[in-house]
Chains A and B, each alone.
Chain A
Amino acid sequence: MPLDDTGTHLDEVAIAAYLDRSLAAAEHGRIEAHLVACAQCRDEVAEVAQVLATKPRALRWAPLAGLAAAAVLALLLARPAPEPAATGPALRGSEPPVARRQSVELVGPAADQPVSPQALAFVWRSAGADVTYRLVVTDLRGDTVWTATATDTAVPAPTGRVLRPGADYFWYVDALLPDGRSVASAVRDLRIAP
């Protein structure tokens, strides 16, 4: 488990990775166990989470001016910049300002209305032409339970007992647009009927 110079507390990478939910389950569990025992690290994690949760939505996207400046610098540098950084598709963090931002609008199932697995179908409104969608269903902790990729705006429920009767989940849809940008839907509750 990555600790800082004191050897007592979590380092910056551990805290960031924990909040990004990007760790393997075992490492995530070890860090979580440390947080249970360490009030100082727990306090820091909570404070960082609050900063991330309260930043204005416009902060999620780096202004295009920054990338444009970066692209100009790439041309001026003696050594060429790495291809993906300078000429690849736009980074996820480089969407246009808030006023022109697209999003994926979820249609059904409605939140807090239990739905039987047999009748379940995920439906959302189109985000445009030639868009690829990724549907994600998570448990209440945010751990992914099921994903599906589609070019249509509807996906049937998974087969088998992936979604348990009586259980609650979250679901959302990410969309990859033709120009390389990505947009996301809100997160919606999903209740499976007993």
Chain B
Amino acid sequence: MSVDALGFLRGPPAELTLLLRADTSAARNGAWEAFLDAHSRLLLHVARSVGHDYDAAMDAYAFLLEQLRSDDFRRLRSYQSDGRTRFTTWLVVVARRLCADFARRKYGRFRSTRSASADDRAARHQLADLIAVELDDERTPIPDGSGNPERDLIAREEAGRLAAAIAQLDTADQLLLKLRFEDDRTLKEIAPVLGFASGLQVHRHLKRVLGRMRGVLTGGSPTDGAP
């Protein structure tokens, strides 16, 4: 365990260290209780985020605890305290995967909160098409299957230019567009993924990115999206 310049401790939490070092049955039971004292509310929060209802969440929570404890805490032992991740973040990822496995076994499926329309949009439209709709540019007709060859040709050319412009964005901006237009995530949902403080900040940044895209379609210099 190391300490940085301001004295912030890094490394596994004490309750995890003691749990994994406990070498008697009584010590393991006590350490497990201490671990649950520290993390059961977080684990329950994860189970509730995945469960369809209260009973499903409780079933998932019970399964989760059983899996974390199984095989001499094998999953918890796999946590690498090398500073790459906070233990609680890692624990949420592990716990959510276990709950998702439980849901698939019990209900035959697992569905995230991703909107139902997102699958349909992703299946039917390319990202460039979705952004063109957002830009609401009259010069960029969207292929509508109407059979108008000229319209479809223009649409394909514009979509090609837009796709090329998207490919030139840095990965963070490409990810932003994917999350917003293909996955139909809200700005508030996108903020913690990309490290923005709020959906408002995402909105401001997205305006700038769309301004650049609009500039590509107009063929001039990209605007910055400012009013």
* Given A70-B31, A77-B23, A142-B196, A43-B112 contact (CB < 8 Å): yes
B109 at the interface (CB under 8 A from A): no
Min C-beta distance of B20 to chain A, whole Å: 11
Chain B interface, DSSP helix/strand/loop, else mixed: helix
Q: How far is the CA of A141 from the CA of B209 in the complex (A)?
A: 13
User: Chain A residues with Cβ under 8 A from B31's Cβ?
Assistant: 70, 73
Q: How far is the CA of A69 from the CA of B51 in the complex (A)?
A: 31
Contact of B9 among A29, A84, A134 (CB under 8 A): A84
B165 at the interface (CB under 8 A from A): no
B54 at the interface (CB under 8 A from A): no
Check B175–A19 contact: CB distance below 8 A: no
A16 at the interface (CB under 8 A from B): yes
Q: What residue of chain B has the Cβ atom nearest to residue A112's Cβ? A: B200
B214 at the interface (CB under 8 A from A): no
Q: Which of A43, A51, A53 has the most B CB atoms < 10 Å from its CB?
A: A51
Contact of B192 among A49, A62, A66, A82 (CB under 8 A): A49
B227 at the interface (CB under 8 A from A): no
A158 at the interface (CB under 8 A from B): no
Chain A interface, DSSP helix/strand/loop, else mixed: helix
Check B192–A29 contact: CB distance below 8 A: no
User: Chain B residues with Cβ under 8 A from A100's Cβ?
Assistant: none
Q: What residue of chain A has the Cβ atom nearest to residue B39's Cβ? A: A62
User: Chain B residues with Cβ under 8 A from A162's Cβ?
Assistant: none
Check B18–A29 contact: CB distance below 8 A: no
User: Chain A residues with Cβ under 8 A from B172's Cβ?
Assistant: 32, 141
Q: How far is the CA of A47 from the CA of B33 in the complex (A)?
A: 28
Check B196–A69 contact: CB distance below 8 A: no
* Given A32-B175, A43-B183, A69-B34 contact (CB < 8 Å): yes
Check B193–A46 contact: CB distance below 8 A: yes
B113 at the interface (CB under 8 A from A): yes
B152 at the interface (CB under 8 A from A): no
Q: What residue of chain B has the Cβ atom nearest to residue A132's Cβ? A: B6
User: Chain B residues with Cβ under 8 A from A48's Cβ?
Assistant: 89, 92-93, 96
Check B46–A62 contact: CB distance below 8 A: no
Min C-beta distance of A183 to chain B, whole Å: 12
User: Chain B residues with Cβ under 8 A from A74's Cβ?
Assistant: 18
Q: How far is the CA of A89 from the CA of B11 in the complex (A)?
A: 13
Q: How far is the CA of A32 from the CA of B179 in the complex (A)?
A: 12
Q: Which of B5, B37, B39, B80 has the most A CB atoms < 10 Å from its CB?
A: B37
Contact of B113 among A33, A50, A89 (CB under 8 A): A50
User: Chain B residues with Cβ under 8 A from A36's Cβ?
Assistant: 171, 174-175, 178
B195 at the interface (CB under 8 A from A): yes
Min C-beta distance of A25 to chain B, whole Å: 11
B135 at the interface (CB under 8 A from A): no
Per CB-CB distance, the 5 closest pairs between chain A and chain B, nearest first, are A142-B195, A66-B38, A66-B37, A69-B34, A16-B85
19 contacts between A and B (CB under 8 A): A12-B94, A12-B97, A15-B93, A17-B85, A20-B86, A39-B122, A42-B178, A42-B183, A46-B193, A49-B192, A51-B46, A52-B92, A67-B38, A69-B37, A88-B1, A92-B9, A176-B7, A180-B7, A182-B6
Listed in ascending order, the chain B residues whose CB lies under 8 Å from chain A are 1, 3, 5-9, 11-15, 17-18, 21-23, 27, 30-31, 33-35, 37-39, 41-42, 45-46, 49, 80, 83-86, 88-90, 92-94, 96-97, 112-114, 122, 171-172, 174-175, 178-179, 182-183, 185, 189-197, 201, 204-205
Listed in ascending order, the chain A residues whose CB lies under 8 Å from chain B are 12-13, 15-17, 19-23, 29, 32-33, 35-36, 39, 42-56, 58-59, 62-63, 65-67, 69-74, 76-79, 81-82, 84-86, 88-89, 91-93, 132, 134, 140-143, 149, 168, 170, 174, 176, 180, 182, 187, 189
